[in-house]
Structure 1
């Protein structure tokens, strides 16, 4: 199929740079999921000529693969501190995985607009909350019943698998809306990253497998560069530079106040929303 060496070199260099930018932003804003990875990969794969029909799912599938080691490391650290609500995770486990599998099936047939619309809606809600500066939004003082929690778990699984995130952003919002301490929410949410990223990665490999044959001239989709909608070279090159750049982002974060960080991340999310909205008309 003739994958050109020049295209492979540009893809590799682009992923190294994208990983560094992601690590910097992740350290700065305290996030490590698709909220940062997906939009950066979207621009990179666009520059490399990946067709729009497969560009967004390739970003999402690769993002889910990239966050696996981060999710495992984060969960083990929080568990060691006793901060994880394991009883809530047990309730969420099956519904979340079912939601991820449903999202992977949707990904096989959905148009690029579906991925972008979901990303824009969730990112916009998060941005509005951050920019409002209100941490006291509440739906209740205690979590709802198990059935409601399970339904929420399915929704988190579907949305996370279509956004390429580990679910922490969504589950943390849910828990804090019901008066759970933010540290417990973050710790518990770290466990969802494993439940979402592993089956999500496998699902996107399956969903994108037949699509690679439809684009034989797109190097970023071909094995051994990728399996389905998961970029293998992305996993190899993205993770090291993001880890190396993250401490610099953390250093920058400590130079800013909590409110300034919230505003900066809120503006960042709004810019992503605007970028994806404009892409509807490209």
Structure 2
């Protein structure tokens, strides 16, 4: 069992990079990885997707908090795009996490892949993501986006264990923010989802508490290995976003989503 956890440590470094560059908090990397390892080496057919989503939310809670603190110290966060939207994201996250515990493992995996495909199509087909008009500055979020949009983002993100960055980044991008700022804002907006999701998944599977290394649906050993790789990487890569050209940054964002989708489908 040492080899899978060494692999998780190495991929933890990748989650650190995606947290800094894309605001993912690790969800799109950790869900397919933990799902594959749990399903093939640990307990085949035993709530693999639920364990993957739960472990992902736990990793995101720590990664997003650390990245938020780092970006706040660097002055990259803008309060008007975070609050009060974060409060509505929190409300949606409660509903989404509870819903996920009642969905079958297969249905959860299908929804995860469908969500990725819809996001990729939206980013490629709609204007405003791959590039933003130079003459037009950032625009404030409207009330529907802050309230109903926040609830929707929290619900979907918590249900699928993805943190919400794939909805918040395109939303902020289309309001005229550069990718570096949009991805920076994704971390504090993902934090409520991760905290609520971790709490719900910890309490949702009492039968797993007796298993060594488990807390509810969360695989503690996998979580620790991922964080051991991600946290140092976040500290080292925190200045990288400012050096990436805006268009290359947005293209890399969509490319990573395509790769994760292929991994989940295969």
Q: TM-score range by the shorter chain?
A: 0.7 to 0.9
Cα deviation code 1:184-213 (max 9, x no counterpart): 322322212321211210111122224x3x
Q: Which runs of 5+ in 1 are unaligned?
A: 1-9, 213-220
Per-residue CA deviation, residues 137-165 of structure 1 (Å, 9 max, x unaligned), is 99x954222x4421111111111112222
The partner residue of 1:182 within 167, 179, 183 is: 179
- Indicate the residue corresponding to 1:206 in structure 2: 203
State the match for 2:77 in structure 1: 84
Residues 1:60 and 2:60 aligned together: no
1:140-155 counterparts in 2 under 5 A?
142-145=140-143, 147-155=144-152
Q: What number of residue pairs does the alignment pair up?
A: 257
Q: State whether structure 2 residue 207 is matched by structure 1 residue 197.
A: no
Matched, 1:30 2:21: yes
C-alpha contact (below 8 Å) 2:15/2:26 kept by paired residues: no
Q: Which has the larger radius of gyration?
A: 1
Give 2:102's match in structure 1, choosing from 82, 102, 109: 109
Aligned partners of 1:94 and 1:265: how far apart in 2?
26
Task: Assess, with a 3 A threshold, how the Cα gap between structure 1 residues 23 and 125 changes in structure 2: closer, same or farther.
Answer: farther
Q: TM-score, normalised by structure 2?
A: 0.79
Residue 49 and residue 99 in structure 1: after superposition, are their counterparts in 2 closer, same or farther (change >3 A)? same
Q: Provide the C-alpha distance between the structure 2 equivalents of 1:24 and 1:273, rounded to a whole number of angstroms.
A: 16
Aligned-residue CA RMSD in angstroms? 3.6
Please state how far the C-alpha of 1:114 moved relative to its aligned partner.
3.0
Query: What does 1:1-282 correspond to in 2, within 5 Å?
Result: 10=1, 12-24=2-14, 26-27=16-17, 30-31=21-22, 32-128=25-121, 134-136=130-132, 142-145=140-143, 147-210=144-207, 212=208, 222-243=210-231, 266-277=254-265
In structure 1, what is the Cα distance between the partners aligned to 2:53 and 2:216?
A: 12
* Unpaired stretches in structure 2, ≥5 consecutive residues: none
Q: Is the 8 A contact 2:27 2:57 kept in 1?
A: yes
Structure 2 residue matching 1:52: 3-state secondary structure: coil
Tell me, what secondary structure is at the counterpart of 1:179? coil
